[in-house]
Amino acid sequence: MFTIDDLADRLGGYLPSEEIRQVKRAFYYAEQAHDGQRRRSGEPYVTHPLAVANILANMHMDHQALMAAMLHDVIEDTGVSKKSLAEQFGEPVAELVDGVSKLTQITFEDKAVAQAENFQKMVLAMSRDIRVIIVKLADRLHNMRTLGALRPDKKRRIARETLEIYARIAGRLGINTIRVELEDLSFQALHPMRSERIKRAVGKARGNRRTTIRQVQSSLQKCLDDDGLPGTVVGRQKHLLSIYRKMRDQRKPFAEIMDVFGFRIITDDVDSCYRILGAVHNLYKPVPGRFKDYIAIPKANGYQSLHTTLFGTGGMPIEVQIRTREMEAMANNGIAAHWLYKAGQTERPIAAGSHARAREWVRGLLEMQRQAGNSLEFIEHVKNDLFPDDIYVFTPKGDIMELPQGATVIDFAYSVHTDIGNSCIACRIDRHLAPLSSRLESGQTLEIITAPGARPNTAWLSFVITAKARSAIRHALKHQQHTESVQLGHRLLNKALADYELSLEELPQSALPALLKELSLKRSDELLESIGLGNRMAHAMAHRLASSVPSDQPAADSATSDDAERSILISGADGMVINFARCCHPLPGDPVVGHLSVGKGIVVHRTECRNLAELKSDPDKLFALDWSENIQEDFPVALRIHMESRRGLVAELASLVTDADANIERIGIEECDARLSIVNLTLSVRDRVHLARIMKRIRNLPRVDKINRVRN
């Protein structure tokens, strides 16, 4: 059995004796604290923290992280407090232990909420010290190695959580050795039969192809030796989950997946990497489009390497990765290599960039946490953010920005800064104007055009893919909806109070607080928001407020009353609580009326809209509306055109509409007979005057029989 003395011998390779002594002291303290406790396997509980520390020792973590590993369950499972740990081992170790400790047992509605809350706590701890997550990953790895003692349903739940969260975090931080083992252990727990069959098949395939692998490895090594290039060629094994995913996603049989030979060439410096690349391309022909340079443009987790695929003997594919020893350490240990450097084990800070990127990622998580509506929404954002394949685009100044595959202009804008995303109105891709929904490709240069007062659009949620953009848009829309709902609710309540010759400003001071208490509301904004969203009727609230006013209360003066009775002004098309009916497409200049829809606010209709027939019997639900004089936006309108069929009809209409400074949103053609067609056209126009000018131009086209605006 592995002992503390075995660990001390291993630590002697990179830690001074004083620090090793402190690690041993933490072990003896944990052993005493956990005395009498046993794991489900029957072993003494202290074997678990010792194993976690051993995993961290393999990564050459510093002595404080190793001490935290020894003590990480002491606060939760024994009577020892954080304060006691701080007195015994110092504040940094106590903070690490507190960060790694699980949530105090709270009764949640379900396990999903508990896991999400636990993860939120871990993110906060990570923001103070990134080592928290490294210790937590080692803790999870040992728990996965010892899953055998648990019930099958608990095994599957823990394995799924590990695969969805912890393995992805390990990958995001570049700790590849832990990521691969977590993925394979999760795969074995979730699909034991598939895992076992693939493991047996891999062993058999490797045995059958041992001679071929040796030949390829020898030819690559001979190529390096002949050219005097420093480098060692090693075989690269595929892990089980990777093989399974390729078989499932690419619909390939096992034989095709295992036909690809993988090798890694480790060399001394970056210059040798590129020279070796030239040598292997001279030995075997490269497969076009399969070369990737992660040295010039590292991955988000700091990973660096050259990747190429070659045509081997008989056309068999050979995948080759070329990297330096420092890059190899970075690929295996990721951000943990930062502490390896601090301990003086490497010549230069190979993980300094990775450490900075990890901190930036954690800052992004904290921002998402603040903006998310609840812990479950936050953890969904995190899952989406634990990265798929990346693309690399450039700012106008030449800075490289990394984004997930399929990212759009809006994703890029929010990755630069939340304020840039919120105020984005247009963009240029490689100096050409492009839609905000454009999917980005590696190598493009982007310039974001912003405007003060611009706001996110609800439609953006349908095409953004990054967690940061999605959570920032939702946060901005919630804030926007709240503000607009309160403003609209204030106007509606004042309008309803005008019937009682009152206004909100003239109510007795006790009237509104009394109503809020009766409705179990804390703030007046909550009442106004619910009125603005149509969840409470303004007239009912006004009646209750007015009934609390003494009969001798002086009536409002005429100026206030007139102000309250004015129509509600519509100032734009993009509000969150003023929506425009699609049945009649109202335009600025049209006589309009609004009705209150639950949860949506006011829906604007043209006064002659047939859909208002049922509502006209209930005047409390209808509101007089008027258009503001300074509307700068476009509105959709539907036209129906009867004209003779002819070639080039659509092109002619499109040209005419464009010349009239309008946009076609939708066009459809119905054939009436051999001679006549009906064109259904949806345009974006500014107002009635703009529409009249376009209709006049279309009416003057030859062979147009008639044109009319669609009423409903």
Mean of all residue pLDDT scores within the chain: 81
Q: Which of 60-74, 215-229, 418-432, 489-503 has the lowest mean pLDDT?
A: 489-503
Structure tokens at 648: 């080039």
3-class SS at 670? strand
pLDDT digits (tens, 9 = 90+) for 417-448: 899 999 998 899 988 888 888 999 877 889 99
Q: What burial letters (b/e) apply to 298-310, b meaning 16+ CB within 10 Å?
A: bbbbbbbbbebbb
Amino acid letter at 505? E
Alpha-carbon gap, residue 183 to 167, rounded angstroms: 6
pLDDT at 387 over 70: no
Q: Which of 171-175, 214-218, 526-530, 660-664 has the lowest mean pLDDT?
A: 171-175
19, 31, 43, 77: the catalytic one is 77
Alpha-helical segments (H) within 343-466: 352-371, 375-385, 409-416, 418-422
Structure tokens at 142: 């040992």
Say how many CA atoms lie within 13 Å of 187 toward its Cβ.
20
Structure tokens at 503: 């206004």
pLDDT digits (tens, 9 = 90+) for 622-667: 777 888 877 777 888 999 998 888 777 778 888 888 888 888 888 8
Calculate the CA dihedral of residues 56, 62, 67, 73 and round it to 10 degrees. Answer: -50
19, 31, 76, 526: the catalytic one is 76
Using CA of residue 478, residue 111, residue 365, residue 165, what is the dihedral sign? negative
Looking at per-residue confidence, does 374 or 557 come out higher? 374
Is 77 assigned a catalytic role?
A: yes
What is the pLDDT confidence band of residue 286, given thresholds at 50, 70 and 90? very high
Is 43 assigned a catalytic role?
A: no
pLDDT digits (tens, 9 = 90+) for 494-546: 888 887 788 888 787 778 888 888 888 888 888 888 887 777 777 778 877 88
Strands laid side by side in the 704-709 sheet? 663-671, 676-685, 635-644, 704-709
Q: Which of 5-19, 21-35, 220-234, 570-584 has the lowest mean pLDDT?
A: 570-584
User: What pLDDT is recorded for position 305?
Assistant: 93
For 71, 691, 698, the CA distances from 684, given in Å and listed in that order, are 65, 9, 15
Say how many CA atoms lie within 13 Å of 166 toward its Cβ.
30
Under 8 Å between Cβ of 175 and 59:
yes
Alpha-carbon gap, residue 138 to 135, rounded angstroms: 5
Strands laid side by side in the 432-434 sheet? 432-434, 424-429, 446-450
3-state secondary structure 41-95: CCCECCHHHHHHHHHHHHCCCCHHHHHHHHHCCHHHHCCCCHHHHHHHHCHHHHH
What is the pLDDT confidence band of residue 107, given thresholds at 50, 70 and 90? very low
pLDDT digits (tens, 9 = 90+) for 16-49: 999 999 999 999 999 998 888 888 878 888 999 9
Highest mean pLDDT among 360-369, 554-563, 692-701: 692-701
Highest mean pLDDT among 269-273, 426-430, 591-595, 602-606: 269-273
